């Protein structure tokens, strides 16, 4: 499974994708992992949407080993 990052989230982690650690079982676990490993971006993580296989997901959604998890920060535009 991979974690995909966009815009400001990719800037924080320094990459557009990372391999997902095996111990992350839910979307909420992913959020907790991001908070733990990148605490300087705590405010960003709280605002991000998470999609699993291109569909928005709640924190309770259980992840499968081949899922693609996308971390999507808020965007602004006109």
**50 phi and psi angles, rounded to 5 deg:** -125, 135
Provide block-wise average pLDDT over 10 residues at a time, the chain (78 residues): 93 94 93 96 96 97 94 79
The predicted structure's pLDDT at residue 76: 66
Q: Which CATH number goes with the domain that contains 22?
A: 3.10.20.30
Identify whether 77 is part of a domain.
Answer: no
Q: Which pLDDT score, from 0 to 100, does residue 77 have?
A: 58
In a domain, 78, yes or no: no
pLDDT at 12 (0 to 100): 96
Number of domains making up the chain = 1
């Amino acid at each position: 499974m991979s974690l995909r990052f966009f815009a400001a989230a990719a800037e924080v982690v320094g990459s557009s994708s990372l391999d997902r650690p095996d111990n992350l079982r839910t979307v909420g676990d992913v959020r907790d992992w991001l908070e733990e490993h990148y605490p300087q971006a705590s405010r960003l993580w709280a605002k991000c949407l998470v999609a699993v296989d291109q569909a928005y997901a709640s924190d309770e959604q259980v992840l499968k080993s081949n899922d693609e998890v996308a971390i999507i920060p808020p965007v602004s535009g006109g």
